[in-house]
Structure 1
């Protein structure tokens, strides 16, 4: 028997909001299921390593296009790339894969945490950091001629370093000017709460903050606190953790009324230039093939599944045109 979960009604007007993608601006009416946290290209070596972020574009397309075609056949209409500067962001490779498959990808500006921060970001002053992110959000990427869809950051597990806080403050100012969401790879709840404090201090709204990897915080009280402050929580370990473990977290969030604040995804892929031939990427199909049917079998109604897989990713990552 299907269950009507609280908090699943639309809360924003989507008519004047768009995803900023490799293929241009897309409105809600052009989109269905969206995967909110995946990777096409990642280099987890630090930027000082030889060959960092380098690959043959044709090889990247050959490896990753079949993975995109798999989800197209399942009705997925867009994917959010979560690789940012510091972990080998290549907006040009994202564009090449997108064009080869006629599939939109949402790519971030921003920076990863220490010690992956690139020299150009490390050496920039506060004004330059804000200007760089604002330019990529409003004009174009450094390496490709289209606009960033959002801001991706990170913070250390033991707390935000001085440099990470400077980047976050600059990001909050750029995001406030554009309406962009800030997503952060943050493993600890107390660090996520500190990030929310900074974002509020800089005049950006907590409901434009996305706590990536929320599932890694075992104190679920922090999940509750994040939602109470208006932030997005994201369980992005579908297919990487036991299905029943992932499902229990999702069901707990739904029962608590968090349907409108929850994102779910895999955090998989990807072409890795540190491995021969880019390695063996993992498919982006487990959510559609296994987890959503399992949730439905557990009583989650079709309307709630649509909120989780279609409405929420659009609401989280869209911004004014």
Structure 2
């Protein structure tokens, strides 16, 4: 039976309700070679981020997907501390971001070593925390995949085949996503184990349809960041064209930033429930479709 792998253990479908599939608890966008990269006290992160998570718990959110991966400050130990402090299951990724946010050891590792690392984190745990990764997060350059990014992608495809984990990629352009799917197909990884993150940035809607037709998930993660009217129009268009069974929606917000004094000022994860869901209801979207977007799709995409 499929289950969601989180900081608080495995959860089956009937144990969960609303799931936010793309948020951040902790992010450091400095490159890994910078002084102080990824450094923070867990208690400070809890103090800043626990109120944000308590707010979404009050809305009925039952799990949150952490999208901070290797290269941009992933701290599974901090995710675990925040999760325990709030009782919120958090789904943590393995994998690594794109260039130049790639640490030296990844530059030097071959595909087999990277695959072994990802599989280890997905099955045994991350960096001694006891937290198993729930999915694989990576990225690709806006203008195309570099050789190093391809090496990471191929390793991720092999790890996904071995574990059933989904791969999510920060990829701005649909044509690059198509290239990623071609590479994954060569590794035997099916398209339904791939999420095209930030798909709202691709202005050619035909590519949204094309990715869904190939079997991939598409994600609109700009709720609360883009104008409400634009967000609603795009989600409604996807529903009207039958893409809703492979659509994920979220905010891409948060987060504690160790490069900022006191971790910066977090942006809440509440707008989806506060505004988008009532707006969809008012627009006549059936309750079953809204439930699919907020409960079934996130579970089906990330569970393994």
**Does 2:52 correspond to 1:67?**
yes
Asked whether the equivalents of residues 90 and 143 of structure 1 are also in contact (C-alpha less than 8 Å), the reply is: no
Cα distance between partner residues in 1 of 2:104 and 2:281: 47
| Structure 1 unmatched runs, 5+ | 1-15
Counterpart in the other structure of 2:257: 272
* Aligned 1:17-32 pairs, distance under 5 A: 17-32=2-17
Determine which of 258, 265, 268 is the counterpart of 1:283: 268
Secondary structure of 2:125 counterpart: coil
Counterpart in the other structure of 2:67: 82
Cα distance between partner residues in 2 of 1:123 and 1:132: 13
- Please, what TM-score do these two structures have when normalized by structure 2? 0.99
Q: Relative CO higher for 1 or 2, CA cutoff 8 Å, sep ≥ 6?
A: 1
User: Aligned pairs, how many?
Assistant: 304
Secondary structure of 1:151 counterpart: strand
Secondary structure of 1:238 counterpart: coil
Shift of 1:318: 0.2
Counterpart in the other structure of 1:149: 134
User: Where has structure 1 moved over 4 Å in runs of 4 or more?
Assistant: none
Shift of 1:259: 1.2
Cα distance between partner residues in 2 of 1:185 and 1:143: 27
Counterpart in the other structure of 1:318: 303
Determine which of 84, 98, 121 is the counterpart of 1:136: 121
Determine which of 100, 104, 112 is the counterpart of 1:127: 112
Computed over aligned residues only, the root mean square deviation of the Cα atoms, in angstroms, reads 0.6
Counterpart in the other structure of 2:215: 230
- Please, what TM-score do these two structures have when normalized by structure 1? 0.94
Secondary structure of 2:143 counterpart: coil
Counterpart in the other structure of 1:4: none
Determine which of 269, 278, 301 is the counterpart of 1:293: 278
1:39-92 Cα distance to aligned partner (Å, 9 max, x none): 000000111110000011110111111111000001000000000000000000
1:223-245 Cα distance to aligned partner (Å, 9 max, x none): 01100100000000000001110
* Aligned 1:45-60 pairs, distance under 5 A: 45-60=30-45
1:289-313 Cα distance to aligned partner (Å, 9 max, x none): 0011011101111111100000000
Cα distance between partner residues in 2 of 1:33 and 1:125: 38
Cα distance between partner residues in 2 of 1:31 and 1:118: 35
Determine which of 210, 219, 228 is the counterpart of 2:195: 210
Counterpart in the other structure of 1:12: none
